[in-house]
């Protein structure tokens, strides 16, 4: 027995020593947790019930000072982790139980002769019981943001996708919001032709897993570990991201964790509430949060790689239209409520929509793409392609929001401002109506938020914006693009012809909705990988690219900062990041002090109230500058990827200089300064700033960012300066 005991003790000691060595080794590595909504390829009741609960309801605070709830919203006792719904509908509240449970959602089972609850099949009603209460056919009912007018017939043929579903106006002890979600998602999957049960993850998610894992191994080797975690698990195929982060911290011993999101546009809802806050809560509750350096990558848009990927995705659609005719481009992004709903009390929805930076970030991404697309297509086919990005009305410059064909997609129009407000955010349908009514013959809708063709692009944004649906057979075959003809009658009614493509009759506009990025998945993932690379560099871990740092220093979210190379051949290379132009915005914004039109139900027509932006005329028009505190770096990068030398720009009059962390983003433009060979400057008008594009594998011209300034030369200092919203590898050269 003594020998057995010693043997067990020895084995246990070896095991503990092995774990300790792993923890010590991993404590210096970066754990990358790639997050996503994690939509299954097929249908999963458990997934959709879970994602609805986590994304809209969340967790209720149990006391005013409960540990780990510092990121919760609302005033106790009406305080929770999400705050998207009114509190009383998310949580059973004394005196307001009717908001939590006033009806039931049922499926009539003919074989049983019973109405079976959608959420809990043990709850049933007989036909006689059901007939005692008002019974509403599910078709036509709605339940909040994005769900009004959604539970209706199939717009393709008028059939009812849920013929046996009913809302019965009798409380049943089950939360109404969750019951409705089940019917909502079952209808969506019926219209999309999804299989009954999940058959795995979406193919784009699987591809991303393989691509990013290979990229990180090639660029960083064993100095990073990458795992994938979703907002909700798809049983047997994926895990929740907060569980993944916890396991890497608790059992893997990682102390540096990078959370990433593939979304085009940075928003607090996804990146803070769904990503960071859930991971923070899990780590905090398990007692390891204080040991973790937790950082984020929040979006992929606005980079050279993203813009090139997007215009390449456009090319095949633009070629469909008659040559030399103008094509109007409606840029479509997700959209978030403005200014939100009253956050106070049991009937308040405290999610702080008014504080969102999404609106500013998404519009900056649009303007970055617009400049890139104009330049790209001006060089194609001798510039014969004519693109139009503007409305015929609005105020401000041609880059102003109210003059742009820039549309929100994912919520009803009423969520984005009063219809009489000149600064309201326009939807895709608003922009389509304007373009069609003003005689725009050729229109292409460019979705630029979703990385694959899923529920949003395939169905939700279409029903909300009156856009035709593909057939189920087309969707099952991976076809999500669609073309149709459209006009408005004199009485304002819409007429669509769906079977002629873009061969439209006289007086109709030719419209095409593009697909998302399934066909350019490699290009999308390369851009995403380079953003993640920059996230790893935030921890001071550089990729195997022969990077030599010549200067580094701290940049502040509030105060900006400057770093400069003081000696050597790169002397004078400098990064200047501006102070936060509005240090209390949007942090201090509140629903109560925001503008609401005098004709709205809850007016606040105060002229000094908070208003959404319209135009970025100068750098200080942006609400923020740097997105976070970070250590900036300047130096040289010898290789474009491991084993491949960085290409030499033949027309350069400067060295190619690395500024990092790679692909770090700004809103208020930052200024780059590079030393140049002044003897090669023949004319300042012929000098351009260039940035290395990893997708193009060469340098390309930089476009002046919104509110920024173009290149300028200091002959005395022998330097050139220019503004940018993204870091990378820069050079100065003669214009080709």
CATH classification of the domain holding 554 = 2.60.220.30
Q: What pTM was computed for the model?
A: 0.95
In a domain, 167, yes or no: yes
Whether 488 and 560 map to the same domain: the answer is: no
Domain end, chosen from 192, 212, 242, is at: 192
In a domain, 308, yes or no: yes
In a domain, 62, yes or no: no
Whether 353 and 457 map to the same domain: the answer is: yes
Averaged in consecutive runs of 10 residues, what is the pLDDT profile of the chain (736 residues)? 55 52 79 96 90 95 96 97 96 97 96 96 97 85 43 86 94 94 89 79 96 98 98 95 97 97 96 98 97 96 98 95 92 96 95 96 98 92 84 96 97 92 97 98 97 93 95 93 97 94 94 97 98 98 98 98 97 98 96 94 91 96 98 98 96 97 98 96 90 98 96 96 98 91
Whether 577 and 666 map to the same domain: the answer is: yes
Domain end, chosen from 192, 226, 241, is at: 192
pLDDT of residue 13: 52
Give the integer Cα–Cα distance in Å for 305 and 296: 20
Which tokens in the block code for residue 274?
A: 């769904």
- List CB contacts of 14: < 8 A, sequence separation 6 or more: none
pLDDT of residue 3: 57
pLDDT of residue 51: 94
Domain count, the chain: 3
In a domain, 715, yes or no: yes
In a domain, 200, yes or no: no
Whether 488 and 378 map to the same domain: the answer is: yes
Q: Any idea which residue has 């003059």 for tokens?
A: 403
Beta bridge partners of 261: 35
pLDDT of residue 144: 39
Q: Is the dihedral of CA 330, 333, 339, 345 positive or negative?
A: positive
Whether 86 and 148 map to the same domain: the answer is: yes
Whether 649 and 705 map to the same domain: the answer is: yes
- List CB contacts of 144: < 8 A, sequence separation 6 or more: 85, 177
Rg (CA), the chain: 27
Whether 567 and 497 map to the same domain: the answer is: no
Contacts 24+ apart (CB under 8 A), 273-276: 273/71, 273/81, 273/82, 273/351, 274/35, 274/54, 274/55, 274/231, 275/35, 275/241, 276/71
Q: Which domain holds residue 560?
A: 541-581+622-734
């Amino acid at each position: 027995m003594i020998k057995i005991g010693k043997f067990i003790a020895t084995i246990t000691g070896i095991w503990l020593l092995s774990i300790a060595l792993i923890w010590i080794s991993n404590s210096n590595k970066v754990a990358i947790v790639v997050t996503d909504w994690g939509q299954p390829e097929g249908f999963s009741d458990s997934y959709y019930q879970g994602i609805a609960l986590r994304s809209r309801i969340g967790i209720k605070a149990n006391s005013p000072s409960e540990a780990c709830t510092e990121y919760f919203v609302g005033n106790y006792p009406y305080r929770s982790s999400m705050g998207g719904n009114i509190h009383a509908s998310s949580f059973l509240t004394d005196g307001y139980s009717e908001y939590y449970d006033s009806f039931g959602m049922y499926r009539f089972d003919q074989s049983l002769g019973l109405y079976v609850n959608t959420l809990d099949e043990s709850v049933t009603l007989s036909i006689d019981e059901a007939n005692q209460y008002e019974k509403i056919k599910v078709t036509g009912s709605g339940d909040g943001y994005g769900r009004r007018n959604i539970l209706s017939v199939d717009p393709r043929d008028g059939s009812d996708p849920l013929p046996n579903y009913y809302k019965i106006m009798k409380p049943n002890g089950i939360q109404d919001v969750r019951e409705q979600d089940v019917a909502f998602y079952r209808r969506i999957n019926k219209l999309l032709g999804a299989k009954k049960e999940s058959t795995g993850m979406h193919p784009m998610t699987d591809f991303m897993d393989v691509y990013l894992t290979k990229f990180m191994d090639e660029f960083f080797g064993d100095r990073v570990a990458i795992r994938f975690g979703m907002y909700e698990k798809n049983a047997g195929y994926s895990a929740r991201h907060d569980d993944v982060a916890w396991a890497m911290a608790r059992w893997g011993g990682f102390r540096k964790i990078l959370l990433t999101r593939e979304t085009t546009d940075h928003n607090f809802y996804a990146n803070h509430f769904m990503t960071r806050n859930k991971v923070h809560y899990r780590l905090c509750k398990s007692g390891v949060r204080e040991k973790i350096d937790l950082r984020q990558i929040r979006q992929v848009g606005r980079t050279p790689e993203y813009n090139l990927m997007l215009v390449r995705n456009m090319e095949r659609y633009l070629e469909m239209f008659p040559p030399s005719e103008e094509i109007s481009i409606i840029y479509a992004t997700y959209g978030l409520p403005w200014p939100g709903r009253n956050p106070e009390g049991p009937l308040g929805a405290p999610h702080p929509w008014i504080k969102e930076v999404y609106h500013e970030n998404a519009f900056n991404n649009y303007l970055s793409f617009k400049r890139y697309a104009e330049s790209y297509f001006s060089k194609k086919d001798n510039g014969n392609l004519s693109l139009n990005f503007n409305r015929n009305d609005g105020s401000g410059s041609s880059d102003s929001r109210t003059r742009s064909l820039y549309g929100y997609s994912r919520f009803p129009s009423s969520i984005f401002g009063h219809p009489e407000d000149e600064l309201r955010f326009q939807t895709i349908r608003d922009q389509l109506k304007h373009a069609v009514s003003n005689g725009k013959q050729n229109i292409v809708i460019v979705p630029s938020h979703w990385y694959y063709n899923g529920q949003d692009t395939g169905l939700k944004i279409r029903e909300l914006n009156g856009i035709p649906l593909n057939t189920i057979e087309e969707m099952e075959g991976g076809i999500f693009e669609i073309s149709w003809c459209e006009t408005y009658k004199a009485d304002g009614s819409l007429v669509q012809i769906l079977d002629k493509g873009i061969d439209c009759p006289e007086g109709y506009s030719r419209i095409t909705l593009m697909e998302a990025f399934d066909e350019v998945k490699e290009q999308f993932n390369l851009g995403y990988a380079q953003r993640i690379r920059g996230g790893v560099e935030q921890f001071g871990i550089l990729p195997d690219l022969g990077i030599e740092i010549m200067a580094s220093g701290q940049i502040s979210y509030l105060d900006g900062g400057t770093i400069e190379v003081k000696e050597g051949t790169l002397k004078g290379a400098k990064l200047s990041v501006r102070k936060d132009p509005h240090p209390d915005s949007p942090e201090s914004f509140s629903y109560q002090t925001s503008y609401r039109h005098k004709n709205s139900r809850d007016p606040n027509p105060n002229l000094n109230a908070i208003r959404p932006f319209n135009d970025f005329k100068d750098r200080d028009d942006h609400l923020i500058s740097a997105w976070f505190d970070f250590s900036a770096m300047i130096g040289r990068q010898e290789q474009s990827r491991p084993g491949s030398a960085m290409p030499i720009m033949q027309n350069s009059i400067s060295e190619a200089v690395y500024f990092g962390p790679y692909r770090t983003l700004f809103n208020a433009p930052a200024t780059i300064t590079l030393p140049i060979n002044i003897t090669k400057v023949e004319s300042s008008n012929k000098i351009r700033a260039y940035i290395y594009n990893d997708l193009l594998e060469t340098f390309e011209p930089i476009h002046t960012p919104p509110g920024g300034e173009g290149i300028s030369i200091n002959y005395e200092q022998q330097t050139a300066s220019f503004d940018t919203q993204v870091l990378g590898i820069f050079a100065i050269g003669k214009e080709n």
